């Protein structure tokens, strides 16, 4: 090996690095630019498989990786956000969306003006100007897209230049001839390379670089491309380790989809090349690779879409492990841990949507606990006191896990809207946890009341029911405001919080008069006043949560 050969290897490695980095930078820029739109796409997803295909296509076109999309899908299934049938459609769409990169790479054959060396440097320059010298977040995101796209093309050009001296080398000609004559070897080679670099978009880009230099035949390229579609499944399969049975099945469906497609097209193309032998051994262009890659994924989707339920059933046969049984006390936390799946961190907007959903669950848990605490207080029910104290432990665990997850999201690249949501979600967690603490306080007061044999008059009980009714409506509406992000619920919280404040003041004065007239024992009065004070603070926290939502609208 000469010094020139080593230099060409360095050129190829550097070009590949620039290509991968550019693809990643472009994907991040597109992802940030899309922002909340991707969240809305998820919200629009129903059991309609065609919507799922569209969603998978759009997301993969944005993040430039079907592997990343499928990893997110595994996370969504694990979190219970998607069913397996919905996931199947998204996976099919992801395979179509991944062809976008191949078309970008093939632009160099569309004409001189589209060659990477012509406009790539200008793209990088324009991107840097936007990214460094503008304050607008949107313009910075566009700048990042330009920089990524420019680096992608520069890397592609580096790889192409490093291969050019060897395009007539007998070694490469013989190697691709062997891969072309043996479809299984071709498919295995494509799958292996893709599995190693964990990106079918990148491996197809490398294949197109070889085609750009006239080094690969139709026959070899077709079978290698089929293998690349299988190799891209490895990322999702690795990601599914440690997930529930359903999430593992989602990863297996991805593999089954691509393997079935490779078998169908592999057999069909083998027969076709036997008939048209001259075409099989002719040189393929990057555009022709893009065309085949697109046709394969679209046709594979059309062929297998009617068999979606069958794919789900087969995945159930292949993945047979049983779910571990959980105790009733641990179920809520186990479910939360599953829902806060790190695979979803591939997209901050989706990850924040999951947090929003869990905040609603945490709020409902705190509200339910407050109701139990009040029931225990009024009816002197010691069992309910114990239930409240036990549930408070779960609420505290919610606080810990959700906060840790938001810290991980904060390490990602976020836009202004996502930064605002993250800050408000952290504050909401704190307020809900404080609601839980006040419910615990009321339960402890109920326990003290039971232990000391204290009973309230019917008038005092009615007073507490009155203020609690306003408090429960304030909390209920703040949870609805957080869930639906609508101003009508925010206004309802403000209205009920004002009623709580005025009622608390009225009841306090009324109770002090009873104490002054010796109509109530001192120990009874202390507990009564402590209870209405805790209820008033609960409504304050509900008002805080509504304020965060108002700030987002």
What CATH number does the domain containing 537 carry?
1.20.58.220
CB 66 within 8 A of CB 200: yes
Instruction: Give domain status of residue 325, yes or no.
Output: no
Instruction: Give domain status of residue 376, yes or no.
Output: yes
Q: What is the pLDDT of residues 237-264, one digit of tens each?
A: 876 766 677 778 888 888 999 999 999 9
Backbone φ and ψ for 326, nearest 5 degrees, come out as: -115, 150
Identify whether residues 299 and 381 lie together within a single domain: no
Q: What is the pLDDT of residues 204-238, one digit of tens each?
A: 777 887 787 777 888 888 998 898 888 888 877 87
Instruction: Give domain status of residue 32, yes or no.
Output: yes
Distance CA(463)–CA(513), nearest Å, equals: 14
Nearest-10 Cα torsion for 430, 433, 435, 441 = -130
CB 373 within 8 A of CB 439: yes
Structure tokens at 83: 């069913």
- Which residues on adjacent β-strands are paired with residue 283? 217
Query: Among 553, 480, 470, which residue's Cα sits nearest to residue 505?
Result: 470
Instruction: Give domain status of residue 298, yes or no.
Output: yes
Q: Scan for tokens 């969306």, then name that residue.
A: 97
> Which has the higher per-residue pLDDT, 73 or 38?
73
* Mean pLDDT for the chain overall: 81
Distance CA(90)–CA(79), nearest Å, equals: 16
Backbone φ and ψ for 130, nearest 5 degrees, come out as: -65, -40
What angle do helix axes 416-451 and 348-379 make, rounded to 10 degrees?
Answer: 20
**SS3 assignment for 61-112:** HHHCCHHHHHHHHHHHHHCCCCCHHHHHHHHHHHHHHCHHHHHHHHHHHCCH
Buried/exposed 326-354: b ≥16 CB within 10 Å, e otherwise: eeeeeebbeebebbbbebbbbbbbbbbbb
Instruction: Give domain status of residue 332, yes or no.
Output: no
Q: What's the pLDDT band for 149 if we cut at 50, 70, 90?
A: confident
Identify whether residues 243 and 357 lie together within a single domain: no
Structural domain that includes position 393: 347-552
Distance CA(59)–CA(41), nearest Å, equals: 9
Identify whether residues 270 and 215 lie together within a single domain: yes
Q: What is the pLDDT of residues 385-402, one digit of tens each?
A: 888 888 898 899 999 999
Count of the separate structural domains present in the chain: 2
Distance CA(249)–CA(255), nearest Å, equals: 10
Identify whether residues 222 and 352 lie together within a single domain: no
Number of other CB atoms surrounding residue 397 within 10 Å = 16
Identify whether residues 225 and 282 lie together within a single domain: yes
| Final residue in a domain of this structure, among 295, 317, 339 | 317
Number of other CB atoms surrounding residue 510 within 10 Å = 12
Identify whether residues 130 and 54 lie together within a single domain: yes
Identify whether residues 272 and 355 lie together within a single domain: no
| Final residue in a domain of this structure, among 317, 334, 362 | 317
Q: What is the pLDDT of residues 56-103, one digit of tens each?
A: 887 777 666 676 677 777 767 776 667 777 788 888 888 888 888 778
| Final residue in a domain of this structure, among 300, 317, 334 | 317
Instruction: Give domain status of residue 339, yes or no.
Output: no
Instruction: Give domain status of residue 243, yes or no.
Output: yes
Identify whether residues 307 and 353 lie together within a single domain: no
Identify whether residues 111 and 13 lie together within a single domain: yes
Instruction: Give domain status of residue 386, yes or no.
Output: yes
Give the global pTM. 0.66
Q: What's 411's DSSP letter?
A: T
Distance CA(291)–CA(211), nearest Å, equals: 13
Identify whether residues 352 and 500 lie together within a single domain: yes
Identify whether residues 312 and 413 lie together within a single domain: no
Identify whether residues 304 and 371 lie together within a single domain: no
């Amino acid at each position: 090996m000469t010094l020139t050969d080593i230099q060409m290897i360095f050129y190829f490695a550097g070009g590949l690095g620039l290509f991968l980095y550019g693809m990643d930078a472009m994907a991040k820029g597109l992802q940030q630019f899309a922002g909340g739109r991707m969240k809305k796409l998820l919200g629009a997803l129903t059991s309609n498989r065609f919507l799922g295909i569209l969603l998978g296509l759009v997301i993969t076109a944005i993040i430039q990786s079907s592997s990343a999309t499928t990893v997110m899908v595994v996370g969504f299934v694990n979190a219970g956000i998607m069913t397996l049938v919905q996931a199947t459609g998204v996976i099919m769409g992801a395979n179509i969306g991944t062809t976008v990169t191949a078309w970008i790479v093939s632009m160099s054959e569309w004409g001189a003006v589209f060659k990477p060396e012509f406009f790539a440097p200008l793209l990088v320059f324009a991107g840097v100007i936007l990214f460094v010298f503008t304050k607008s977040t949107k313009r910075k995101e566009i700048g990042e897209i330009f920089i990524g796209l420019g680096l992608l093309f520069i890397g592609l050009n580096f790889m192409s230049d490093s291969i050019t001296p060897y395009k007539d080398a007998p070694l490469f000609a013989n190697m691709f001839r062997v891969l072309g004559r043996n479809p299984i070897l071709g498919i295995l080679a494509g799958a292996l390379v893709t599995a190693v670099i964990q990106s079918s978009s990148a491996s197809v880009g490398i294949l197109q670089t070889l085609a750009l230099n006239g080094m690969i035949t139709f026959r070899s390229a077709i079978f290698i491309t089929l293998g690349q579609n299988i190799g891209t499944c490895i990322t999702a399969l690795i990601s599914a380790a440690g997930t529930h049975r359903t999430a593992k099945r989602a990863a297996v469906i991805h593999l089954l989809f691509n393997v079935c497609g490779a078998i169908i097209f592999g057999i069909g193309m083998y027969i076709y090349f036997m008939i048209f032998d001259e075409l099989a051994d002719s040189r393929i262009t990057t555009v022709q690779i893009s065309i085949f890659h697109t046709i394969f994924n679209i046709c594979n989707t059309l062929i297998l879409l009617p068999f979606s339920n069958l794919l789900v059933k087969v995945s159930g046969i292949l993945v047979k492990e049983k779910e571990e049984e959980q105790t009733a006390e641990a179920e809520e936390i186990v479910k939360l841990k599953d829902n806060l799946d790190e695979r979803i961190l591939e997209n901050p907007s989706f990850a924040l949507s999951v947090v929003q959903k869990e905040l609603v669950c945490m709020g409902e848990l705190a509200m339910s606990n407050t109701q139990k605490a009040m029931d225990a207080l009024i009816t002197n029910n010691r069992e309910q006191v114990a239930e409240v104290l036990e549930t408070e432990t779960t609420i505290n665990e919610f606080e810990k896990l959700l906060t840790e997850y938001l810290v991980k999201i904060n390490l990602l690249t976020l836009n202004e809207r996502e930064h605002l949501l993250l800050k408000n979600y952290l504050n909401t967690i704190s307020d809900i946890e404080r609601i839980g603490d006040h419910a615990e306080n009321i339960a402890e007061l109920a326990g003290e009341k039971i232990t000391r044999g204290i009973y309230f008059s019917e008038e005092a009980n009615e007073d507490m029911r009155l203020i609690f009714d306003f408090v429960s409506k304030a909390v209920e509406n703040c949870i609805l405001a957080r869930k639906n992000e609508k101003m009508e619920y925010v206004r309802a919280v403000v209205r009920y919080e004002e009623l709580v404040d005025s009622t608390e003041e009225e009841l306090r004065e009324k109770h002090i008069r009873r104490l002054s007239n010796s109509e109530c024992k001192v120990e009874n009065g202390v507990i009564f006043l402590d209870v209405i004070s805790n209820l008033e603070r609960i409504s304050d926290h509900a008002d805080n949560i509504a304020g965060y939502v108002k700030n987002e609208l």
